[in-house]
Chains A and B, each alone.
Chain A
């Protein structure tokens, strides 16, 4: 207290600690970028592993005679699949390239990719190298890893059917709840309903999965007959996914509806419109972009939802459009095959990255689209 003003040093000092703290805070912010890069890097790396991994297909074309390490012509039996020139083949552990292929003889370059030319006895099968092509991956309608068939369509198809059913439930229900909350309900009713919606939104997805399997599926089977509805089916999973995303649709839509200025409603009332006419013909169109954003985010959530489909939609890819049949979605497949003891050096391990990448890209596009729409819609009323 005895200090006089002149004894206080008011000169600026360098504050190294301030700078250091700012750098640390920035680093925490940058970590999120790192997470995104990590996701993209690992998914792409794993997917590359999936598409470059050699799958050895049995040609059923065994060696016709013993082969010595120095031979460059392999005598083969005529039966089995044809081997094209330039193809990579494997006999026992040795990898070779076919230079000329005839009916009963193959001229080969031996000991490729670090393998050593070795002697092979007659009767050993020849394996032809095959890879999962992008074309096969995106257009194949069968996903059978044991048979080397990797067409993602059955998984994508099931994902979209489940999501479509979910949106058929969530869109009308969520929108109606949102209109009720923002246009009709008194603040007191709102105070009761919003926590209830939050509870519904906070229930873990695995509990919803339990609900789908032990409540909705039996209900569907009783209503439509057990011959029509399988024990595991996409309809039950889709309905419950719809229930799961309903609170999300409702709360995002409500925000959008509340953002519509009061003056619009008052103008409608002044013209003699009823409450319903105001809500449906004035407020909903005015909030349309916000509602669209909510809808898109909900689709993205439904596509990425895992536990409900893993429990209720069934195990095993199935290319079907019948919602009452069992079919595995992308997420369901990832969970099922990684649930067991997954060997790191298997095509199954690599395949979850390829599926994961497709899933990531679909949800990324949807989320970005929704954010764009929200950004544009904010501009309108601010």
Chain B
């Protein structure tokens, strides 16, 4: 080996370079933070703002206030429907269910949907809406003389509680949230027991010098690196096609003829995500088991406990907080996954909630994908609102994970 002399006697220059280097590294870190801020800014900026809305009949002309529409006196709502609906439409509505028997909420929804008929013409993000309110109002008056300028919170309680709709102002993510929850429950139910069992085997039982145990370990590490879309293809081939009678519920007679989703069910999606997060659950659980001190095992063995008694009564309870934290983080990953669900065949437009494992489904990330991919700018606002919802859900679940870890640490300190 030849050693190159690299001594630079100019100390002042070297120290200057050292200071510049530190600034560069700090700046790089700052860039990371700025990007995170830009991401959040971009989403929040698009989830709220001004919108130019055109009505068929303006609420003011009827003496209505949009914010308190369901609280309008019942007689007034009925009267509006009476006078503004075409006789044919009214008859068909009466036939489905007499108007007088409907709740105030339903009447208000009818008034909005059939009488007022709001239509979004254009939208502006939050920051320009705040800074240039006057200019926007002027622009709207010039471009769309009839339109009304209104503040819209795209993320609001109605957005969270309404099903999907093709009209942007009425669209919501209830179906998608419920679909995501179903997926997470099915994923957890498959990946948690299987993952923890595999981790126990590898950490507590497996002899590391056996080739097949090494193979299992290497294989799990490799599986964790397989792109998520490959799991989607696997799910499509196995759960959707090969196991169709099972995943469509036909075997159990659970689904009436004609409404079957042909294996493209929330069960198929959940099982696919289960396989996807399995290696992550195993690796995290292994780490939690490894953190359990050996003295605990040895003490239990010394008292005559069998291997399983040691694992079940001593090692597992001690490792449980770590396992839970790791599992929740893995489930967060499942909550945000999109590509495998698209391949497995999540529905893009459904308005009914998933009620059993054999339902068609959509999920929050799918909804974001669909809305983002649409060319009309209004749907970008909906996508932003749905993204914000998803991020809040993830924040919540990660918060729970961090809390569990924190509490377990405190208990250990006492």
Contact = CB atoms under 8 A, between A and B. Distances in A.
Tell me the dominant secondary structure on chain A's binding face: helix
A24 B312 CA distance: 14
A322 to B, nearest CB: 23
B18 A277 contact: yes
B390 interface: yes
Contacts of A297: 225
Contacts of B36: 196, 199-200
Given A214-B42, A276-B21, A364-B222, A204 B28 contact: no
Nearest to B240: A344
Given A17-B308, A199-B36, A207-B43, A311 B369 contact: yes
Nearest to B394: A202
Contacts of B372: 206, 209-210, 213-214, 311
Nearest to A246: B32
Contacts of A22: 201, 205, 307-308
B338 A205 contact: yes
B282 A18 contact: no
B383 A210 contact: yes
Contacts of B307: 18, 22
A32 B202 CA distance: 12
Interface string B231-253: 11110111001000000000000
B222 A368 contact: yes
A203 B225 contact: no
B336 A205 contact: yes
Interface stretch (B146-154, B169-177, B213-221): B213-221
A306 B339 contact: yes
A211 interface: yes
A335 interface: yes
On chain A, which size bracket covers the interface? 35 or more
Contact of B200 (A25, A30, A243, A307): A25
A300 interface: yes
B25 to A, nearest CB: 4
B279 interface: yes
Interface in B196-217: 197-198, 200-202, 205-206, 213, 215-216
A238 to B, nearest CB: 14
Given A30-B216, A207-B391, A307-B339, A274 B15 contact: yes
A15 interface: yes
Interface residues of B, number: 86
B238 A38 contact: yes
A121 to B, nearest CB: 38
B380 interface: yes
A307 B14 contact: no
Nearest to A247: B32
A367 B15 CA distance: 40
Interface string B188-202: 000001110110111
B305 to A, nearest CB: 11
A367 to B, nearest CB: 4
Contacts of B282: 32
B32 A196 contact: yes
A26 interface: yes
B338 A29 contact: no
Contact of A202 (B46, B205, B380, B398): B398
Given A30-B216, A363-B226, A25 B14 contact: no
A372 to B, nearest CB: 10
A342 B233 CA distance: 12
B238 A32 contact: no
Contacts of B21: 275-276, 279-280
Nearest to B335: A204
A75 B60 CA distance: 79
Contact of B230 (A39, A196, A213): A39
Interface stretch (A87-95, A126-134, A172-180): A172-180
B29 A334 contact: no
B278 A177 contact: no
A337 B152 CA distance: 35
Contact of A42 (B202, B234, B306): B234
Residue with the greatest number of chain A CB neighbours at <10 A, chosen from B227, B282, B342: B227
Interface in A275-300: 275-277, 279-281, 297, 300
A33 interface: yes
B342 to A, nearest CB: 5
Interface stretch (A61-69, A135-143, A221-229, A352-360): A352-360
A28 interface: yes
Interface string A46-63: 100000000000000000
A359 B365 contact: no
Contacts of B27: 176
A46 to B, nearest CB: 7
Interface string A11-23: 0000101100110
Nearest to A336: B342
A200 B337 CA distance: 15
20 contacts: A21-B308, A22-B307, A28-B197, A29-B201, A29-B216, A42-B237, A176-B27, A177-B32, A196-B33, A202-B394, A203-B39, A211-B43, A247-B32, A274-B14, A276-B21, A303-B227, A304-B228, A305-B227, A334-B232, A363-B225
Given A179-B25, A363-B227, 8 more contacts: A18-B307, A202-B332, A207-B39, A276-B18, A306-B228, A311-B373, A352-B233, A367-B222
